[in-house]
Amino acid sequence: MAAASEFDTVAKKICKAIYPSQKPSKLPDYHPIITSKYPKFLQYEILIPRYKLSFQPWITWQISTDAIKSPVSPDWWKKGYNKIKHERDTNFEQANLENAILATCGLLTGILYFYDAHFRTNRPEIDISQTPKFLSPKDYNQPGWESAKIIWKYTLLK
């Protein structure tokens, strides 16, 4: 619950950095804004190296091609977070480890892109002792975030 809720806040900040005049308020509204600047946001991968696990928490997030249907949110968001948030008593089984990991990986992805959106030209140095140890962004070995001042190296897909 906390990770998904925090992503909601981070996503609003990413959208505001991209288009300051727009005021999106829910997950379907964030998709076109975030993917307009970061088309490969949905493909970003977070690893749990210790267990050789890999997650792409946003890979199934889509805009519906049918004007009547709403956008397709990832299951961990739609069935996990939203069902638990609104009907916790009848959807308790959705409060599971898989949904918790995907929400946490979704939040980390959002934080990385938030960092890019807000500090593109003047990035502060990242202290390695403050970076995640359990989760790790996948390094796609593309030019971008590697610099002498950034100790924790990762590359965003753009």
Q: What is the pLDDT of residues 124-153, one digit of tens each?
A: 565 555 556 666 666 533 344 343 333 344
Closest CA to 56 of 2, 5, 121, 101: 101
Contact between 60 and 75 under an 8 Å Cβ cutoff? The reply is yes
Bridge-partner residues for 120, per DSSP?
A: none
The one-character DSSP state at 64 is -
How many whole angstroms separate alpha carbon 75 and alpha carbon 79? 5
- Smallest CA-to-CA distance from 1 within 135, 137, 107, 114 is with 107
Mean pLDDT, the chain, as a whole number?
A: 75
Longest dimension (CA), the chain: 51
- CA–CA dist 143, 101 (Å, integer): 28
Q: What's the pLDDT band for 28 if we cut at 50, 70, 90?
A: confident
> How many helices (H) and strands (E) would you count in the chain?
5, 3
Question: Residue 155 has what pLDDT?
Answer: 55
What pLDDT is attached to residue 4? Answer: 85
Confidence at 64, pLDDT banded by 50, 70, 90: low
Record the pTM.
Answer: 0.76
Angle at 136 between CA 80 and CA 149, to 5 degrees: 135
Q: Is 48 helix (H, G, I), strand (E, B) or coil?
A: strand
SS3 85: helix
Least confident of 15-19, 55-59, 130-134: 130-134
Residue 148 identity:
A
Mean pLDDT of 2-22: 91
